[in-house]
Amino acid sequence: MAANQKMMSQMTGKDGFIAALDQSGGSTPAALRLYGISDSDYSGEDDMFRLMHKMRVRIMTASSFSGSKVIGAILFEKTMDGDVGGRPVPDFLWEERSVVPFLKIDKGLAAEENGVQVMKPMPDLDSLLTRAVKKGIFGTKMRSVIAHADRSGIAAVVKQQFEIARRILDYGLVPIIEPEVLIKSPTKQEAETILRDEIAQELDKYTSGEKVMIKLSLPTVANFYKPLIDHISVARVVALSGGYSCADACEKLSHNDGMIASFSRALAEDLRVTMSDAEFDAGLSRAVEQIYNASVFKTAATASGQKLEATDN
């Protein structure tokens, strides 16, 4: 079985979750501050990304970071191009850790219009996808943002996501489509309803055998995205933590049958640069176990369709 077939089998059928290690230029300073590295501890973008890569390597080489529970990892472009102990990161993840490598490909968000932010243009997308294939990347991830339940805005987000997903599929890569509904949106539930319908319409256009993945905010109503999870053209639906703490995100995720985590900040929220290796490994192990359990073991409430927003404030 070819590597990409093994990866697809893992992504569609194995218990576990996806780690998001893809903070980019805009989100890296906050991630470093949470880790215990202040803005004054580095000078310039190169130094910032060097420290971020060092943190990511520490996560990737921890004993708990393996395919037994972490089935995939989303990488920033500079991380894809980096190495772990002299070995290319995608190769290390798959060959040493049995973790499927993905690549974040978007270049950030355009200004808000009609209640949403579509992705900025990606003029170098084809060259980036070509490099990703050569480096052994399995799939990609791209993020848009939905702030309000504006039907035309949400339709534009989904249209752009699926147009670019088609180009990604042409390279033999599996796209993760991420239209994030902000958890503090005053019209979150209404936006989710429009979003689910728009995504379903696009999925119905796919031919047999084509697969995408979808990354979504945890829904207001339990199991709201089950129709997408069950769609023949969806390999997996994963959840972003969206600003919730790890505990809150895991609690909400546990009510959504078939949905697994793809957390970033929530995965690393208790990790600090000052920790000893033993302390760091123990802290990461606790987070991995908590997120894995929420992804795999669901509560009886998954069948109830109950609202899950009571603990938001």
Which residues are the active-site residues? Answer: 178, 215
Please, which contacts does 77-85 make with residues 24 or more away whose CB atoms are closer than 8 Å?
77/103, 77/104, 77/105, 77/128, 78/49, 78/53, 79/21, 79/22, 79/53, 80/131, 80/132, 80/135, 80/137, 81/135, 82/53, 82/57, 84/57, 84/60, 85/61
Please report, for residues 184, 188, 221, 279, the alpha-carbon distance to residue 309 in angstroms, rounded to integers and kept in the order given: 11, 10, 8, 33
Beta strand segments in the chain, E: 17-21, 70-75, 83-84, 87-88, 100-104, 116-117, 139-146, 174-181, 212-217, 234-240, 259-263
- The SS3 call for residue 29 is helix
CA dihedral (224, 219, 300, 312) in degrees, to 10, reads -150
DSSP 218: P
Handedness of CA 139, 47, 50, 33 (dihedral sign): negative
